[in-house]
Structure 1
Amino acid sequence: MSETDGGPAAPELADRLAEVFDLVGPLYRRAYRKVELDSPIEGLSVGVRAVLTMLREHGPMTVPQMGRAQALSRQFVQRMINDAAARGLVESVPNPAHKRSSLIRLTEQGRIAITAVADRERAVLGQAAGDLTEAEVAACIRVLSHLLHFLDHVEVD
């Protein structure tokens, strides 16, 4: 098998992908801290923000669905939902597909809060874009999406 048909990559490419991972960790941690520092206006932790973002993008979901989508424990997601519900940002509604697993949906207050956070983030990211091109950003998204998909489906010995 070759690298074009899903076989092992050349050692040099594996080294380059390791460089990607070496950057993603610090990038994630810095973004995490930035969100924590910038979100007090809305009172959102990073976990609550992630739940609100997912509901904004995908509509009402169950707690187990959110946990699977983010590779997080159901218990952690439930704590984030409880925090968001206590602030009036989400609400439980009956799930026609499953009587015991309610759907969680954004309230209007939740939609306003997550939109404000996303708008602020986009403004900052617009400044960070610098001289990057659309093609470079598209390539970055493609690589990161590929790695995420691979890690979700690979069995490591």
Structure 2
Amino acid sequence: MIEPRSEAGDVLTDVVMRTFRLYGGFLEAAEVMTKPVGLTAAWWQVLGAVLKEPLSVSGIAREMGLTRQSVQRIADLLVDKGLAEYLPNPAHRRAKLFQPTGAGHTAVESLREAQYAWANRITASVGAEELRGALDVMNRLVANLDADRG
């Protein structure tokens, strides 16, 4: 039996398509910002996930909706470059915690000015309240996706 169409389902399809376009634009902008400091968008993404607290590679992957294997490759590269390190994980003997080193924090911090300028340009016609509303909807959709996965 085919599920009936719904207006919300049709709009969600449009949201998904625009999200793909946004993601592509965000990645392109991130590559431009990170290149001068010797990072890539992917490296920034993984380092950014652990700026506040160390996480396991699996934890980073879950948080970002990526595969553990892709995060593992980037994490190992960042460790090799001296931008991050693995720490013992008291909760799990084999799944080490991952965190930026001082050099990793410095690299991410050096992006702040460019990132703030970019964010201000991109949000010039969108207010903070509108963005908070969009973020709320995105958070609810992520929760629904997670629940749908089982």
Q: TM-score, normalised by structure 2?
A: 0.86
Query: Distance between the aligned counterparts of 2:96 and 2:104, measured in 1?
Result: 18
RCO comparison, higher one (Cα < 8 Å, 6+): 2
Alignment of structure 1 residues 1-157 onto 2, 5 Å: 11-57=6-52, 59-155=53-149
Report Cα offsets for 1:49-93 as digits up to 9, x if no partner: 111000014x11111211222222222111101111122110112
Structure 1: gaps (5+ residues): 1-9
How large is the Cα RMSD of the aligned pairs? 2.0
Per-residue deviation at 1:119? 3.7
Query: Distance between the aligned counterparts of 2:131 and 2:106, measured in 1?
Result: 28
Bigger mean CA offset, 101-110 vs 127-136: 127-136
Q: TM-score, normalised by structure 1?
A: 0.82
- Contact in 1 for aligned 2:83/2:100 (Cα 8 Å): yes
Per-residue deviation at 1:124? 0.7
Q: Aligned pair count?
A: 146
Query: Distance between the aligned counterparts of 2:67 and 2:127, measured in 1?
Result: 37
Query: Distance between the aligned counterparts of 2:91 and 2:141, measured in 1?
Result: 32
Structure 2: gaps (5+ residues): none
Query: Distance between the aligned counterparts of 1:155 and 1:65, measured in 2?
Result: 17
Per-residue deviation at 1:125? 1.1
Per-residue deviation at 1:38? 2.4
Secondary structure in structure 1 of the residue aligned to 2:55 = coil
Letter in 2 for 1:106: P
Aligned to 1:3: none
Bigger mean CA offset, 71-80 vs 37-46: 37-46
Letter in 2 for 1:53: G
